[in-house]
Amino acid sequence: MGKIREAFQNMTLKKALITLAVMCLGVVCILTVITILKFSDIRQEILDSRPIYVSEYTVEDYASDNSVTLVNPKEFRFEPLSGENLVYYWIITVFMVALPVIYVIAGSIVMAKLYYKLKIQKPLMSLNNGVEHISEQDLDFKIEYTSNDELGKLCNAFECMKKEIYTSNRKMWNMLQERKALTASVSHDLRTPITVINGYLDYLDKVNHKQIITEEALRSTLKQMKGAVQRLERYVECVKDIQKIEDVEIKKEYFNLKEYITNTVNDFSLLAKKYGRVLEYQNQIKTESICSDKDMLSKILENIFDNALRFSEKVIYFSITEKNNCICFTVYDDGKGFSKDELKYATTFFYSSPTNKGNFGIGLSICKILCERLDCVLSLENIADHGASITVQVKK
């Protein structure tokens, strides 16, 4: 019974409706035939019970002693029904006509109820429940109707839509959190150079009144103030760069992967030679093309390679592999690698550490933003025999 119900649920709506209609029509036809035959017999019995009036007949004798006499009627007629027999006859006739109509109506109702219960009720309730959850901004639910019919596909599409909404909301939430972090970082980091400048201004104001400042002290103070101002300018430029990256339009299109890798390797080789590094390259892919924003992907790889140039000692490795339906671009070096804090916070805005050589931590944060917009995955790790390793996974 369970297998029959499962098979019925996996039928298309049209096929399921036709199947139920044929089944109910078959039952109605069988009941109609049985009813007509049965009531026809009853009517015939009532008719056979009528008196017979013979007007002409002949008598034939079959025995010499006249013990057997055969009457052969030539003209006869049945007496009309009267009384209870007439009532019974018309009641039976009405039932013969009415019951098949009732069977058709009852069969239609039963068919409609079965069709609604088996094919429509559960997915309709699931969809209605899902709409209520979404209207309440609650995405913590799941559509559990898994039939292969049209409503099952609709429920599956609804579930996919819910997941997309959840993903979009999560991305928006992350963006808001990053905005908050950026605002907090700006407020915090701007405070230091501004405090330094104000301190030096107060110092100059005091010594100016006392007229005790030397030319060397003045030159040193002005140099420190200029450094703080330059730091502010660099910081503002970094904020502008991040804003530009977030506002850039993503244009995905298919491009020749082999040609792209060749050009990228040539560019990296020139940069490595310029900074006295050796580039070792490995390509293990067979895919001919991928769909992505080539310029933005280049921006990501260039930032990662620039990071490797600053922290490597002699050699930078660049490999391209295929894994889990993705193209993996990996850049790793022979440097010291990431610290525990760097592995955790290196992609956050303006992260600074003793090893970043005085640079603002925006390179990897820009890579993270672009990877999210390209639906790529950015991962950081350390390699025991080498140093830091950064991988970008691009969907095929």
**pTM for this structure?**
0.48
Q: In this structure, are 257 and 383 located in the same domain?
A: yes
Query: Hey, what are 183's tokens?
Result: 């605002």
Q: In this structure, are 52 and 11 located in the same domain?
A: yes
Q: In this structure, are 222 and 260 located in the same domain?
A: no
Number of domains in the chain: 3
- Residue position matching structure tokens 């660099």: 234
Q: In this structure, are 386 and 306 located in the same domain?
A: yes
CA dist 284 and 366 (Å) reads 27
Return the CATH number at 177.
Answer: 1.10.287.130
Check if the beta carbon of residue 73 is closer than 8 Å to that of residue 53: no
Q: In this structure, are 108 and 172 located in the same domain?
A: no
Return the ∠ at Cα 318 (arms to 317 and 323), rounded to 5°. 125
Q: In this structure, are 23 and 118 located in the same domain?
A: yes
Return the CATH number at 334.
Answer: 3.30.565.10
Q: In this structure, are 6 and 104 located in the same domain?
A: yes
Instruction: Give bridge partners of residue 321 from the DSSP assignment.
Output: 328
Q: How far is CA 363 from the centre of its chain?
A: 31
Task: Report if residue 300 sits inside a domain.
Answer: yes
313-347 per-position pLDDT tens digit: 899 999 999 988 899 999 999 888 887 777 777 77
Q: In this structure, are 333 and 353 located in the same domain?
A: yes
List average pLDDT for each run of 10 residues in the chain, which is 396 residues long.
72 86 92 92 84 70 61 71 82 90 92 88 86 81 80 85 82 71 60 73 74 72 76 68 69 90 89 90 89 88 87 91 90 85 71 53 74 88 82 90
CA dist 106 and 113 (Å) reads 11
350-385 per-position pLDDT tens digit: 566 555 544 445 577 778 888 888 889 999 998 876
pLDDT at 59: 65
Task: Report if residue 218 sits inside a domain.
Answer: yes
Task: Report if residue 129 sits inside a domain.
Answer: yes
CA dist 101 and 28 (Å) reads 9
The residue among 200, 201, 196, 193 whose CA lies nearest residue 234 is 193
Q: In this structure, are 10 and 28 located in the same domain?
A: yes
Q: In this structure, are 384 and 330 located in the same domain?
A: yes
Task: Report if residue 18 sits inside a domain.
Answer: yes
pLDDT at 13: 85
Task: Report if residue 143 sits inside a domain.
Answer: no
What range defines the domain where residue 233 resides? 149-153+163-247
Q: In this structure, are 241 and 197 located in the same domain?
A: yes
- Residue position matching structure tokens 């309709």: 124
At 198, the amino acid letter reads N
Q: In this structure, are 240 and 266 located in the same domain?
A: no
**Final residue of a domain: which of 221, 247, 273?**
247
Task: Report if residue 144 sits inside a domain.
Answer: no
